């Protein structure tokens, strides 16, 4: 079967980085040192009786997939990945084969996949503290009976969704509710990311919130905030008019222009802006909570200056090395939180997995996702898919997905 495979070695890493700096981003997906290409691989077999085989219907192309291809990720995470690997972790498909230990599922079930490859999938017992707490940050993601790889799509044995077939452990599976189309179910994983970010930094009803970045995750954070805390005030910084309009439709109260962000924040939050003798302004007062979906040095620096005293900044985007002035951190007693994955969550008196909450809120119409799926591509057109994602504003793109015949 044809699959989109990522592979990089130290020499290829150095060469691609050097050539990319001169010839641009096409070097990473076209030419001699490309990091991704179509390959022929055999259909996967079940690793153990507790696994199922899935026929892929859709797999979303995530910003983290693009970062991987362009070698933007920090090498710090390299011990917890293994190459070559078939990428893609936002998956919906149909069970086409089932092991005898995968009770509760049957052939033909439409499922979405929590891509995390935790202790249970790795046949490790007792499970680590993170897995015991139901979170995705497994401490054993380089151990057990699988190669290193935190999740499906960056593991050389467990191929991701940019292929017609893949395998998944029973612990990764969530049945899609009756009546929900695959075009919506493919968004379950990004919705879960957004929901978990909000649960981990849950506002009070009258809080003033800022979301930096109105792309897919930013939009879904806005929708999650509206679903969970309807009364909070939500501002968004987003330069693309297309994405900004979608953010307002998702429930943002206003779009804040970046060129006037300090004055507008002072107006919205009743804060006071101060100008140091050198450098960027800083606010006393400000937003109670900020969700930074970009996580560049410039947006993190801005976030800390716009964040109120004792406020919390959730770093949702995946950044690399950054240099920051930490003065606002201690001066305003701020909290900076990392965001990764999802897990079990106390909600409405129960303890469901965030994937269950995501599917429930989507099926109830409290989070709308189908309008965010703007482009579909067959696997053969992966280069075009990458190019659309490199210029989303020009192409009117939000979520692009790879589509397989079904």
What's the CATH code of the domain at 41? 3.90.180.10
Give dist(CA 406, CA 403) in Å, integer: 9
Q: Is the pLDDT of residue 322 over 90?
A: no
Please tell me the predicted confidence (pLDDT) of residue 75: 82
Please tell me the predicted confidence (pLDDT) of residue 273: 97
Helix intervals (H) in 307-381: 327-331, 354-363
User: Are 79 and 205 contained in the same domain?
Assistant: no
Query: How confident is the model over 17-54, as pLDDT tens digits?
Result: 999 999 999 999 998 999 999 999 999 999 999 999 99
User: Are 132 and 238 contained in the same domain?
Assistant: no
Calculate mean pLDDT across residues 371-390: 97
User: Are 167 and 313 contained in the same domain?
Assistant: no
Find the domain containing 164 and state its range. 2-187+369-403
User: Are 225 and 374 contained in the same domain?
Assistant: no
pLDDT tier, 405 (very low <50, low <70, confident <90, very high otherwise)? confident
Give dist(CA 373, CA 246) in Å, integer: 12
Q: Is residue 345 part of a domain?
A: no
User: Are 26 and 130 contained in the same domain?
Assistant: yes
Calculate mean pLDDT across residues 295-324: 93
Query: How confident is the model over 233-272, as pLDDT tens digits?
Result: 999 999 999 999 999 999 999 999 989 999 999 999 999 9
C-alpha count within 13 angstroms, C-beta hemisphere, residue 329: 9
Give dist(CA 354, CA 114) in Å, integer: 10
DSSP 233: E
Q: Is the pLDDT of residue 320 over 80?
A: no
User: Are 57 and 92 contained in the same domain?
Assistant: yes
User: Are 210 and 320 contained in the same domain?
Assistant: yes
Q: Is residue 310 part of a domain?
A: yes
Q: Is the pLDDT of residue 319 over 80?
A: no
Q: What percent of the chain has pLDDT over 70?
A: 100
Query: How confident is the model over 116-175, as pLDDT tens digits?
Result: 999 999 999 999 999 988 888 899 999 999 999 999 999 999 999 999 999 999 999 999
Q: Is residue 223 part of a domain?
A: yes
Q: Which two tokens stand for residue 221?
A: 């954070």
CATH classification at residue 258: 3.40.50.720
In the sheet that 307-315 helps form, which strands lie side by side, from edge to edge?
254-255, 233-237, 208-212, 287-292, 307-315, 335-338
User: Are 132 and 279 contained in the same domain?
Assistant: no
Cα 341 to Cα 10, 28, 62, distances in angstroms: 28, 27, 13
Please tell me the predicted confidence (pLDDT) of residue 134: 84
Q: Is residue 90 part of a domain?
A: yes
Please tell me the predicted confidence (pLDDT) of residue 406: 66
Q: Is residue 164 part of a domain?
A: yes
Beta bridge partners of 369: none
Give dist(CA 66, CA 362) in Å, integer: 26
Please tell me the predicted confidence (pLDDT) of residue 253: 98
Calculate mean pLDDT across residues 59-84: 92
User: Are 334 and 276 contained in the same domain?
Assistant: yes
Q: Which two tokens stand for residue 142?
A: 């380089």
Calculate mean pLDDT across residues 358-373: 97
Which one of 338, 359, 394 terminates a domain?
A: 338
Q: Which two tokens stand for residue 145?
A: 């009976």
User: Are 31 and 159 contained in the same domain?
Assistant: yes
User: Are 146 and 7 contained in the same domain?
Assistant: yes
**pTM of the predicted protein model:** 0.96
Q: Is the pLDDT of residue 73 over 90?
A: no
The chain-wide mean pLDDT, for the chain, equals 96
What is the number of domains present in the chain? 2
- What's the chain's Rg over C-alpha atoms? 21
User: Are 169 and 73 contained in the same domain?
Assistant: yes
């Amino acid at each position: 079967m044809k699959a989109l495979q990522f592979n990089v070695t130290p020499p290829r890493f150095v060469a691609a980085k050097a050539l990319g700096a001169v010839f641009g981003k096409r070097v990473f997906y076209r030419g001699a040192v490309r990091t991704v290409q179509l390959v022929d691989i055999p259909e996967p077999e079940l690793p153990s009786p507790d696994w199922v085989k899935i026929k892929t219907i859709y797999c979303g192309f995530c910003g983290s997939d693009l970062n991987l291809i362009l070698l933007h990720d920090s090498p710090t995470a390299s011990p917890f990945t293994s190459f070559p690997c078939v990428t893609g972790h936002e998956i919906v498909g149909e069970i086409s084969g089932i092991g005898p230990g995968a009770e509760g599922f049957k052939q033909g079930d439409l499922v979405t996949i929590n891509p995390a490859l935790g202790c249970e999938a790795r046949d490790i017992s007792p499970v680590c503290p993170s897995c015991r707490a139901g979170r995705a940050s497994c401490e054993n993601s380089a151990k057990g009976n699988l190669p290193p790889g935190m999740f499906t799509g960056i593991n050389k044995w467990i191929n991701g969704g940019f292929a017609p077939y893949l395998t998944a452990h029973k612990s990764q599976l969530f049945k899609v509710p009756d009546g929900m189309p695959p075009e919506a179910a493919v968004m379950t994983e990004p919705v879960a990311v957004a929901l978990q970010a909000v649960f981990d930094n849950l506002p009070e009803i009258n809080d003033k919130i800022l979301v930096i970045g109105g792309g897919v995750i930013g939009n879904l954070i806005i929708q999650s905030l509206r679903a969970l805390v309807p009364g909070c005030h939500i501002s968004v910084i987003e330069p693309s008019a297309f994405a900004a309009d979608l953010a307002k439709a998702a429930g943002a109260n206003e779009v804040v222009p970046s060129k006037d962000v300090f004055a507008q924040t002072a107006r919205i939050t009743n804060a006071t802006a101060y100008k140091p003798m050198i450098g960027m302004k800083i606010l006393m007062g400000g937003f109670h909570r900020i969700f930074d979906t970009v996580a560049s040095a410039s947006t993190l620096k801005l976030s800390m200056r716009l964040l109120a005293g004792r406020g919390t900044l959730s770093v949702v985007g995946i950044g690399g090395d950054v240099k920051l002035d930490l003065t606002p951190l201690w001066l305003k007693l701020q909290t900076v939180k990392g965001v990764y994955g999802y897990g079990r969550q106390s909600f409405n008196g129960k303890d469901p997995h965030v994937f269950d909450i995501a599917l429930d809120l989507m099926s109830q119409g409290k989070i709308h996702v189908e309008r965010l799926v703007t482009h579909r591509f067959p696997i053969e057109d992966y280069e075009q898919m990458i190019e659309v994602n490199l210029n989303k504003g020009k192409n009117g793109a939000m979520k692009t997905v790879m589509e397989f015949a079904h």
